[in-house]
Amino acid sequence: MNTDYKNAARRHYEDAEILFNRLRWANADQLYGLAAECGLKAMMVGLGARTKSSGDLKKHSVHINKLWNEFMTFANGRNGAKYVGYLSSNNPFQDWDVSQRYAKTSEFHHRGAPPHPRVSPHQAAATIVKKMLQQAQSDGLV
Amino acid sequence: MIIRFQKALENAIELVKQHYADLGGLPVLLVRDLYGRIRIALPIEAPTDETTQPDDFAALFRQALGHFSYQSVFLYRDELFDSDALFNSRDKITISKTPHIDLLDRQITGQDWLRQPIASQTGIQRVTLFGIKGGVGRSTALAVWAWYLAQQGKRVLILDLDLESPGIGQTLLPESNAPDFGIIDWLVEEAVEQADESLLREMVGTSPLVSSAIGDIRIVPASGIQEKDYIAKLSRAYMELSGADFAERLSRLLQALEKQEKPDIVLLDSRAGMHDIAAITITRLNAYALLFALNTPQTWRAYRLLFQHWQKYPPNLALFRDNLKIVAGMVPEIDRAHYLESCRESAYNLFMDTLYDKTSNEVEEAFNFDEKAIDAPHYPLKFYWHRAFQEFDPVSNNEVFNENAVLEAYGTFLKEITNLVLGNKLA
């Protein structure tokens, strides 16, 4: 299957929102991280990062807990700077890991309505990446 | 035939007007990207049945825009990442009311020329000194005016916002009075959330040139006295942060300084030319804007390029146009009357062709003035060329502020501008 970071970013975010609203914290969290990763990778392609014929990035094969800071280093010059300012210089996905998919549901236990102490900051950060993608789409970059 | 940048938007608007009903009769949003390519954003889902797509229109659109079109002419709601952010963007400009067509113009720089002014909480009088071209005596006039105001007992705060070509700090501050930090430091420190009160205090120096007991000149230079990393900081200074564009950051800095210094008046030395700093200091900080000019065709032509942008996209023009005032700088010694008359006429033509309303005088709120109306934005304030103010260096030569030279060159200017800006607040 070919890679389409833009399309995948939108799908992961939308599905994360559905899970979040049903208080399905664990998988919502997983998908916010994947949405942000695909979003930043779509941005990097738009900013000129090299890709394989499959559409995958040649470098940066990491998840969002590492990719956030890699993006900060990658983006440079007038085009990149427009987007760096969107993102917090402290990586909000530092405490996110793709291996969470093996974790027990109770690890994400939270009584009652949002905000969820772990998931809500990831939701906020993924939402900012989404806004940045909208900007980049209007700009003609992605 | 090659379609050039300016023709592409005209053609897009024309086509949308002709085919408005075919497009669903909804408000149309034209999105022009960083390359100048134009798409049509529609607040509906992409049609699944290919036969229902307005293919004929898309083909026409591509033909009419050439390289400034996309292969996919339409941008549908379900293809967007954040449709609210797009359709409700603050930068959306209405370019036609019937039929309803909006434009979202994505730019790399320069968006500040059209954005709304930022409300000030301090209400302190601010004045921007700007020249569309350099070499018009702007900074010298600023220094002389600041000195005059301070001698009259006013507390004057000056910001050197000419970051690419700083100077007013050095003009008015001897090394011994220069502070450790400058505006450039605040900008890089604020981006990492450590623009604290101590930084703010160490950004301001007092000019020793004032002999008044009450008044003073406090100066915020572009850089601190020990600066060795200026380019490294400058190349990061214009960062926009999530939730605050560069103008909002400058506004925060200005308000923090105003609260700390409690000045009677703030003078902003703006960078010359059509730069973002100028856009912000003229249109977004609620400042009275002095537009310095030499009476040359290239000066008026350059102002015209700027004014035409406001004329074409005027959504916020009414919020700052009353603050504009032309200043004829360094008026030559010979045949002054003729020079000034010609200057006034050129300025009048500029305003008439671009910013003044074309309505008759019967409409009360019309922005329109007689050529000879002294209080009109185009009617120039003036100061004269004077040998004493060449090689202007008041720190090492205090004599330059001798009463006669100041009165000869700047007498009328100082009275008129002070009266205009501070009115009867001058003791």
Give the pairing type, strands B288-293 and B69-76. Answer: unpaired
Going by pLDDT thresholds of 50, 70 and 90, the confidence category of residue B424 is: low
Looking at chain B, which residue has its C-alpha nearest residue A133?
A: B81
* In this structure, CATH architecture of domain B113-425: 3-Layer(aba) Sandwich (3.40)
Going by pLDDT thresholds of 50, 70 and 90, the confidence category of residue B242 is: confident
Contacts of B354 (CB under 8 A, 6+ apart): B304, B307, B308, B310, B311
Q: Which of residues 3-42 of A touch B (CB under 8 A)?
A: 9-10, 39
Question: Average pLDDT in the B12-40 region?
Answer: 94
Is the pLDDT confidence value at A81 over 90? no
Question: Average pLDDT in the B7-19 region?
Answer: 96
Question: What is the 3-class SS of B295-317, one letter each residue?
Answer: CCHHHHHHHHHHHHHHHHCCCCH
Question: Does residue B149 contact residue B142 with C-beta atoms inside 8 Å?
Answer: no
Question: Average pLDDT in the A127-142 region?
Answer: 94
* A76 close contact with B: CB closer than 8 A: no
Is the pLDDT confidence value at B26 over 90? no
- Residue B427 is predicted with a pLDDT of 44
Query: What pLDDT, in 10s, does the model give residues A102-123?
Result: 999 999 999 989 999 999 999 9
Lowest-confidence region among A32-36, B55-59, B363-367: B363-367
Give the pairing type, strands B101-105 and B28-32. Answer: parallel
Question: Average pLDDT in the B267-292 region?
Answer: 97
Query: What pLDDT, in 10s, does the model give residues B137-167?
Result: 999 999 999 999 999 999 999 999 999 999 9
Which residue, B426, B325, B343, B324, is CA-closest to B384? B343
Q: What is the mean pLDDT of chain B?
A: 93
Question: Does residue B122 contact residue B255 with C-beta atoms inside 8 Å?
Answer: yes
Whole-angstrom distance, CA of residue B144 vs CA of residue B141: 5
Of A39, A130, A138, nearest to B106 by CB-CB distance is A138
* B241 close contact with A: CB closer than 8 A: yes
Whole-angstrom distance, CA of residue B422 vs CA of residue B418: 6
Is the pLDDT confidence value at B64 over 90? yes
Is the pLDDT confidence value at A135 over 60? yes
| Residue B217 phi, psi (nearest 5) | -115, 115
The residue that leads in pLDDT, B122 or B400, is B122
Is the pLDDT confidence value at B405 over 90? no
Whole-angstrom distance, CA of residue B175 vs CA of residue B160: 16
Question: Average pLDDT in the B339-346 region?
Answer: 98
Question: Average pLDDT in the B330-336 region?
Answer: 94
> What is the DSSP annotation of B232-243?
HHHHHHTPPBTT
Whole-angstrom distance, CA of residue B40 vs CA of residue B15: 11
* A140 close contact with B: CB closer than 8 A: yes
Q: Do A137 and B108 touch (CB under 8 A)?
A: no
Which strands sit side by side in the sheet containing B324-331, from one edge to the other?
B205-206, B216-220, B155-160, B265-269, B125-131, B288-293, B324-331, B381-384
Question: Average pLDDT in the B113-118 region?
Answer: 95
| Residue B26 phi, psi (nearest 5) | -90, 160
Of B81, B108, B192, nearest to A130 by CB-CB distance is B81
- Residue B396 is predicted with a pLDDT of 84
- Residue B361 is predicted with a pLDDT of 58
H helices present in B192-271, as ranges: 197-201, 230-237, 246-261
Q: How far is CA A104 from CA A27, A113, A121, A122, B86, in A?
A: 11, 20, 20, 19, 39
Of A86, A87, A139, nearest to B34 by CB-CB distance is A139
Count the Cβ atoms, other than its own, within 10 Å of residue A135. 21
- Residue A53 is predicted with a pLDDT of 93
- Domain positions in chain B: 5-106, 113-425
Whole-angstrom distance, CA of residue A80 vs CA of residue B303: 31
Q: Do B33 and A89 touch (CB under 8 A)?
A: no
Is the pLDDT confidence value at B110 over 80? yes
Going by pLDDT thresholds of 50, 70 and 90, the confidence category of residue A89 is: confident
Strand partners, B293: B328
Q: Do A85 and B239 touch (CB under 8 A)?
A: yes
Is the pLDDT confidence value at A74 over 80? yes
Is the pLDDT confidence value at B426 over 70? no
Q: Do B81 and A137 touch (CB under 8 A)?
A: yes
Q: Which of residues 302-321 of B touch A (CB under 8 A)?
A: none
* A87 close contact with B: CB closer than 8 A: yes
* A43 close contact with B: CB closer than 8 A: no
Q: Do B33 and A85 touch (CB under 8 A)?
A: no
Q: Do A130 and B108 touch (CB under 8 A)?
A: no
Whole-angstrom distance, CA of residue B239 vs CA of residue A81: 7
Alpha-carbon gap: B401 to the closest alpha carbon of chain A (Å): 44
Question: Average pLDDT in the B280-292 region?
Answer: 97
- Residue B362 is predicted with a pLDDT of 61
Question: Average pLDDT in the A36-48 region?
Answer: 96
Q: Do A134 and B80 touch (CB under 8 A)?
A: yes
Question: Average pLDDT in the B418-426 region?
Answer: 82
Is the pLDDT confidence value at B319 over 80? yes
Whole-angstrom distance, CA of residue B91 vs CA of residue A73: 29
Going by pLDDT thresholds of 50, 70 and 90, the confidence category of residue B397 is: confident
Lowest-confidence region among B74-88, B347-361, B387-401: B387-401
> What is the DSSP annotation of chain A?
----HHHHHHHHHHHHHHHHHTT-HHHHHHHHHHHHHHHHHHHHHHTT--B-TTS-BSS----HHHHHHHHHHH--HHHHHHHHTTS-SS-TTTT--GGGGGS-GGGG---SSSPPTTHHHHHHHHHHHHHHHHHHHHTT--
